[in-house]
Chain A
Amino acid sequence: DTAVSQTPKYLVTQMGNDKSIKCEQNLGHDTMYWYKQDSKKFLKIMFSYNNKELIINETVPNRFSPKSPDKAHLNLHINSLELGDSAVYFCASSQDFHRGYTFGSGTRLTVV
């Protein structure tokens, strides 16, 4: 029973393509996040949603668009993929900031 699940686990695609990553959590948490981890392991917040509403939108190119159909799902759609988008994308959720985040297993995106 995976708490935060992401699909796909691996994604290899060509420059210019559009792709989506899906995330679902069964923890009943109100807040969900997308983080990007680059090749140097730096974890950077991209978006945060609370109960389907966008809370945080860090400096991310508008080619990235999150969508939250309900509070258990937060998907990430990326248009016109670029080489620099290659990274591991983690979805996370939390009920209370002070209880920590639960991360999904990550999606390794490789743009060629």
Chain B
Amino acid sequence: QQPVQSPQAVILREGEDAVINCSSSKALYSVHWYRQKHGEAPVFLMILLKGGEQKGHDKISASFNEKKQQSSLYLTASQLSYSGTYFCGTDGGSQGNLIFGKGTKLSVKP
């Protein structure tokens, strides 16, 4: 029941946009997004709750389509600081058990 992320990796130039997708084979009630920079801990970006709302965090936003059981993370006008591995996490159903996808490695070049 691990969510599936795509693409596995993406390379961007500064200022370019990217989309990272997260899909699940089971019904979703919420989707978390985290970013992990090399050698550091994952950092919480945002959570999307059932209802399809789109949320934003600086120039990073996300959407959630519970009917399609998927979420997308949008990175606009990427900056060097956006580099890292992005993980989506879905509710494992056991009192807050978060199941993470395998991650998408984002590299932003000057």
Q: Which residues in A have some Cβ–Cβ distance to B below 8 Å?
A: 31, 40-45, 48, 50, 55-56, 90, 94, 97-106
Smallest Cβ distance from B38 to chain A, in angstroms? 10
Query: Lowest 10 CB-CB distances: which A-B pairs, in order?
Result: A100-B44, A103-B41, A97-B96, A43-B100, A103-B42, A56-B97, A41-B103, A105-B41, A55-B95, A56-B94
Residues of chain A lying within 8 A (CB to CB) of residue B97: 45, 48, 56
- Alpha-carbon separation in the docked complex, A108 to B100 (Å): 19
Interface of B is mostly: strand
In residues 38-75 of chain B, which contact A (Cβ within 8 Å)? 40-44, 46-47, 49
**9 pairs from A and B in contact (CB 8 Å cutoff):** A42-B100, A43-B100, A45-B97, A45-B99, A98-B47, A101-B42, A101-B44, A105-B40, A105-B41
- Alpha-carbon separation in the docked complex, A103 to B89 (Å): 14
Determine whether the beta carbon of B43 is less than 8 Å from that of A103. yes
Interface size class of B (residues with CB under 8 A): 20 to 34
Count A/B pairs, Cβ under 8 Å. 60
Task: Tell yes or no: B83 within 8 A of A by CB.
Answer: no
- Alpha-carbon separation in the docked complex, A64 to B33 (Å): 28
Residues of chain A lying within 8 A (CB to CB) of residue B41: 90, 103-106
- Residue among B40, B85, B94 with the highest chain A CB neighbour number at 10 A: B94
Smallest Cβ distance from A10 to chain B, in angstroms? 12
- Alpha-carbon separation in the docked complex, A45 to B1 (Å): 13
Smallest Cβ distance from B92 to chain A, in angstroms? 7
- Alpha-carbon separation in the docked complex, A98 to B43 (Å): 14
Nearest-neighbor residue (CB-CB) of A57 within chain B = B94
Task: Tell yes or no: B21 within 8 A of A by CB.
Answer: no
Residues of chain B lying within 8 A (CB to CB) of residue A41: 36, 85, 102-103
Residues of chain A lying within 8 A (CB to CB) of residue B87: 43
- Alpha-carbon separation in the docked complex, A7 to B103 (Å): 26
